[in-house]
Amino acid sequence: MRLVAGNWKMNGSPAAVTDLVAGLTQRLRAAEVGCTAAVCPPAHLLAAAVAAAGAGLAVGSQDCSDEAGPGAFTGEISAFMLAETGCRYAIVGHSERRQRHGESNTLVRAKASRALAAGLVPIVCVGETLKQREAGDAAAVVSEQVQESLPEGWSTDTLVIAYEPVWAIGTGLTATAADIAEMHSAIGAVMGSRRAAILYGGSVKPGNAAEILGTEGVNGALIGGASLKLDDFWGIVTAA
């Protein structure tokens, strides 16, 4: 399965849902594309996004609770609630949450497990920092993240991994095709005989999408900044 997912992060508004989600839906109706396209807006826009998205466009959340709930967990949204809202995917373990909120592999695995149990496909994010890459530890760090963050009981169709080098996120820097291929192969080796789709993320734009998406072992992309502009995101979806 090839997947191009847009992570809106803390961006967007009801007007953006109309522009982006309805616009994408319209384009997907008119064209055949070789991938699944998904948008992951902030939580308060999920229901509107689901309502605006046609059958060809999936919706995902940017996080979910590690608690099954329902219960006294202020500020949390359970995977079950997200599924009930119409989400198909849940991003978990994004580096911005690992770094800003101290999310550990153990917590990420718990969230991914809740997502899986609720019938969502978790998009588990992994990736090394620049310091770790410069120290030659990138493959070891990412392999450990994969080993410790993946939920029990996943299958090829119920899990997606996103390799996002932290230093490439929002910086305009991208890993080289050779580095991406090497890391995706290392991630594949950790998974063993089962294979989940592995996305690349980090400064993917229409101009570099074809090369990145054509790299060995790359099954799609997780897009930040470029997912906020209809033409840019569409350019990446069609490159896939």
Which residues contact ligand 13P (rule: CB under 6 A)? 7, 94, 164, 169-170, 201-204, 222-226
Could you write out the three-class secondary structure of 102-141?
Answer: CCCHHHHHHHHHHHHHCCCEEEEEECCCHHHHHCCCHHHH
In this complex, which beta carbon is closest to ligand 13P, that of residue 153 or of residue 172?
172
Could you write out the three-class secondary structure of 30-79?
Answer: HCCCCCEEEEECCHHHHHHHHHHCCCCEEEEECCCCCCCCCCCCCCCCCH
Angle at 120 between CA 118 and CA 124, to 5 degrees: 120
Q: How far is the CB of 45 from ligand 13P (least distance, A)?
A: 16
Q: Is 67 a catalytic site residue?
A: no
In this complex, which beta carbon is closest to ligand 13P, that of residue 196 or of residue 222?
222
Give the active site residue among 94, 96, 103, 184.
94
DSSP, collapsed to helix, strand or coil, labels residue 210 as: helix
Q: How far is the CB of 99 from ligand 13P (least distance, A)?
A: 11
In this complex, which beta carbon is closest to ligand 13P, that of residue 118 or of residue 223?
223
Give the active site residue among 103, 128, 164, 184.
164
Q: Is 164 a catalytic site residue?
A: yes
In this complex, which beta carbon is closest to ligand 13P, that of residue 60 or of residue 80?
60
Q: How many residues does the chain have?
A: 240
Q: How far is the CB of 204 from ligand 13P (least distance, A)?
A: 6
